[in-house]
Amino acid sequence: MKKAVVILSGGMDSSLCAYIAKNKGYEVITLHFNYDQKTQKRELKAFYDISKKIQAIKQIELNLDFFKNMSGLSLIDKKTAVQTTGIEEGIPNTYVPYRNGIFLSIAGAIAEQEDAEAIYIGVVEEDSSGYPDCREEFIDSIAQTINLGTKPQTKIKIITPLVTLKKEDIVKKAMEYQVPLELTWSCYQNSLKACGVCDSCRLRLKGFSKAGQKDQIDYL
Amino acid sequence: MKKAVVILSGGMDSSLCAYIAKNKGYEVITLHFNYDQKTQKRELKAFYDISKKIQAIKQIELNLDFFKNMSGLSLIDKKTAVQTTGIEEGIPNTYVPYRNGIFLSIAGAIAEQEDAEAIYIGVVEEDSSGYPDCREEFIDSIAQTINLGTKPQTKIKIITPLVTLKKEDIVKKAMEYQVPLELTWSCYQNSLKACGVCDSCRLRLKGFSKAGQKDQIDYL
């Protein structure tokens, strides 16, 4: 059976990706990164909950704690607050340098090692504008780079099923695929009740609202 | 002053790179990866020795221990022997999936964070043939990918001063730059006395011999 590595943070987008991969007939290896982000433990729980639901054949949890030595990153640095004033033009302070580039490079090594033919990543170009490593142009470039830098017989596709979707479409599609959204976690700053005001919560709530659905997780 | 990140294993090639970068007028940040390789401690000593000699402004040591979960990698897996029968056609068993791709991606994130304009890496195309992530074509591709995946104002060059050199030229150039080669470590399997028979020792010894020089480190 063909295999895929799914980069799974435990949020709505990556969880939907995992369900899509499974639905396409892949055996799924789920891959999660701990990088000392403020909501690390809560995300990890979501990762294992979703991995179990889709019957992942392997669950890989990796520690990349070097990001914590980078100051001024609001997702990590305890002295820097997560932006809560709404989405603005430009690169948000929740940007972590080249995060998806590093995640995909490691996923590439794992895919080669596990004989997986695809990597799924839940990047969304429009809603997350401002993150340079979420753009389709970047994904195409890194796919080419990974194939150049691995064995000649290794051919890995990077699949981004959500890249052109809006959050409301993601909520609708997640309903369609019966993704247990109540198990997913999106908030950037809290782990018990979602804050409702960080960019990630705002996008999630807007998505549910526009899709005419109610989010079942607890908010402050 | 302009800054460069030098990926420094502590071998001859990367040590020469560090000296070249320093000589080009860069303030040097040295970057070392521990990935559970068999000679990890010995390499780390060489890394700190060389970093000190070139007065690195920052020394970054990162643990990437997830490689240890990949079986059959001779540089890491204690059950798999390092190849000692000489260099052959094809990909050697010392290949670690997409290692340079991962190293360069992390170096890219650090370069962006530290405002460094260059990354130095001591890849050698001809002598290390068989490693897909040592080829110039790969390096050009990943440089483009990193620049696409980081902030618009981030412009990072990847400099490979040794890529077209043979080992004997590297030994000669290292003498020219007064690199303390006796502090460097190349052996893939031993940490006290070099084995003299793994690919890395063979290449090193051949380089010294063809350059008409004597290697000052201890061999079995």
pLDDT tens digit string along B93-145? Answer: 777 889 999 999 999 999 999 999 999 999 998 766 678 888 899 999 999 99
* Domain boundaries of chain A, sorted by first residue: 3-210
Instruction: Give tens-digit pLDDT for B49-105.
Output: 999 999 999 999 998 877 777 766 667 677 777 777 776 667 777 778 899 999 999
Classify the phi-psi angles of B55: left when phi > 0, otherwise alpha if psi is within -120 to 50, otherwise beta. Answer: left
What are the DSSP calls for B116-159, one per residue? --EEE----TTTTTT-GGGSHHHHHHHHHHHHHSS-TT---EEE
Task: Output the pLDDT for position A119.
Answer: 98
A149 interface with B at CB cutoff 8 Å: yes
B138 interface with A at CB cutoff 8 Å: yes
Least CB–CB distance from A148: residue in B102, B138, B150: B138
Two structure tokens written together for A59? 């669950």
Which residues on chain B are in Cβ contact (under 8 Å) with A60? Answer: 66, 69
Which residues on chain B are in Cβ contact (under 8 Å) with A145? Answer: 101, 138, 141-142, 144-145
Percent of chain A topping pLDDT 90 = 70
B97 interface with A at CB cutoff 8 Å: yes
What is d(CA A38, CA B186) in angstroms, rounded to the nearest whole number?
40
How far is C-alpha B211 from the geometric centre of its chain's CA atoms? 21
What is d(CA B47, CA B59) in angstroms, rounded to the nearest whole number?
9
Q: Which CATH number fits domain A3-210: 3.90.1150.10, 3.40.50.880, 3.40.50.300, 3.40.50.620?
A: 3.40.50.620
Confidence of residue A88 (pLDDT cuts 50, 70, 90): low
| 3-class secondary structure, B44 | helix
Classify the phi-psi angles of B90: left when phi > 0, otherwise alpha if psi is within -120 to 50, otherwise beta. Answer: left
Beta-carbon separation of A98 and B91 below 8 A: no
How far is A69 from chain B, CA to nearest CA, in Å?
A: 10
What is d(CA B33, CA B50) in angstroms, rounded to the nearest whole number?
15
How far is B93 from chain A, CA to nearest CA, in Å?
A: 12
Two structure tokens written together for A54? 């889709």
**Beta strand A27-34 pairing with A58-63:** parallel
Beta-carbon separation of A101 and B108 below 8 A: yes
Task: Output the pLDDT for position B44.
Answer: 95
Least CB–CB distance from B144: residue in A96, A108, A141: A141
